[in-house]
Amino acid sequence: MKIEEIIDETAPVILSKVRGKLGLSGHALIIPSDVHDYMVDEKILEQEMFVGVCGGSVLDAEHMNEFLNLLENGVDQQPNDDRDEKKDSSKKVAAAFFFHEHVVSVLKVVLPDGSMWYDLVDSMPTQITKNGQSLMGATRTRCKDRESLQVLLSMYACEKFSQTDAQYIDNNEWDDYMCDFDPRVFQGFVWKE
């Protein structure tokens, strides 16, 4: 119910205010960092809660592992990192996953036994069947381990590729310098409590 409230009531107000602040039309694309900045300015989020951002090719296991590590561990630690902050998989961690001009949420759920599930929440109306009726609504897909989440994110990405995207991917190796034009590019913004 809380997710539905955020999608139906809270998010539209915030997105309208962010678009207004940026001078954008009612349905213009907003990048996640603009929304995050607004939420920090309005004290909805605290900057200290920001874990990190990573990105690259959604089809590259190394790039995706960097994102999944941030989500799983709730800390951005590079090799030889001197910070005192340690991995703590029990923290509440969530991410805004930006891909193909759309953002979905990925929530980490920690169970009492320490195992983790992940929920991918997509607020875009999707046709679903419930009790034999065809309805439009947001979706929440639960993955009961990290590997399942990685498969789901790959499937989600591949469903977004057009025929033109597939041709580009087939004809071009990933190039960090050309990522703005590559349909495989994603960004993951990770936050924790």
Q: What is the pLDDT of residues 53-79, one digit of tens each?
A: 999 999 999 999 999 999 998 887 654
pLDDT for residue 164: 97
How far is residue 99 from each of residues 8, 84, 110, 157, 185, measured CA to CA in Å?
22, 32, 25, 8, 7
pLDDT reported for residue 79: 46
Helices (H), 30-162: 32-41, 61-73, 146-160
In angstroms, the Cα distances linking 72 to 31, 60, 66 are 24, 18, 10
Q: What is the pLDDT of residues 3-58, one digit of tens each?
A: 778 878 888 888 889 898 899 888 888 888 888 888 889 998 899 999 999 999 99
CA–CA separation, 140 and 118 (whole Å): 10
**Cα torsion 72, 29, 158, 78: sign:** negative
Q: Note the pTM of the prediction, 2 decimals.
A: 0.82
Query: 81-138 pLDDT, tens per residue?
Result: 554 455 566 678 999 999 998 899 999 999 999 899 999 998 877 777 778 888 777 8
**Residue 186: which of 166, 158, 167 has the closest Cα?**
158
What is the model's pLDDT at position 104? 92
CA separation for the pair 47, 50 (Å, rounded):
6
